[in-house]
Amino acid sequence: MPVVVVGSLALAGCGGGSNKAAPSAVTRTMVVTKTVQAPRATSATTPDSAPSTDADAGATVDPSDDEVGSGESSGPPVLQATGADRTLTLSDAFSADNWEEGSYTPAGKADPVQGIRTDVYCSASEPIELRFGQTTGTLHVAFAQDIQSDSSDQTLEFDLTVDGRTVKSKNVTFKQSGEMSTPLSGVASIEITAQPAGDNDCESTMALITKLWITAK
């Protein structure tokens, strides 16, 4: 902080050398100001604050349950013998493009059933394919036309193809239903298809599988 030092200087004035009485002395005061710079105070220095520590640094993350032990299949299912009767669903199919599963009512029936269906137009449907590994027993398929079909004048042909060879075929009109079966011993692949069989080949209808199951014998 600056310090101000104030001093005074008196100046006396004398008269000339005349015989007149000397005038009284005149005192003049001069103020001299000097500024002295006081030493600058040094402020205390504080050490830099320690770097913050991230509480999460170095933390390890365990794999989520969705990534470990998800139980997802490595590929489409291959059915094995269980020694007991078994009802099959769409999830048991090796492939089933354009088929869907739900609650549907066969034409001519009062109550809906849990079934699998597809639209059929001018040509055969995409097949439902089942794959088997060293399985014994018999595969059964029951089928009809869906009551929601656009046409009620169409006749559908259902086919069973075993290892590339068609072994069973059956036609059903709008209100009819049918059933086919084939042994599984030594079989690796079975395809189920539906196609128009009547004169109105390009009228839209819905092929409906009302039940698909395996029996032990």
Per-residue pLDDT tens digits for 75-91: 889 998 778 899 999 99
Domain that holds residue 126: 79-215
Across 23-52, average pLDDT = 47
Higher pLDDT, 185 or 1: 185
* Count of structural domains within the chain: 1
CATH number at residue 93: 2.60.120.1060
For residue 13, is pLDDT > 90?
no
Identify the band that residue 131 occupies on the pLDDT scale cut at 50, 70 and 90: very high
Report the alpha-carbon distance of residue 135 to residue 167 in Å, rounded. Answer: 18
Q: What is the pLDDT of residue 105?
A: 98
In a domain, 141, yes or no: yes
In a domain, 94, yes or no: yes
For residue 53, is pLDDT > 80?
no
Q: How far from each other are the two terminal CA atoms of the chain, in whole angstroms?
A: 111
Identify the band that residue 217 occupies on the pLDDT scale cut at 50, 70 and 90: confident
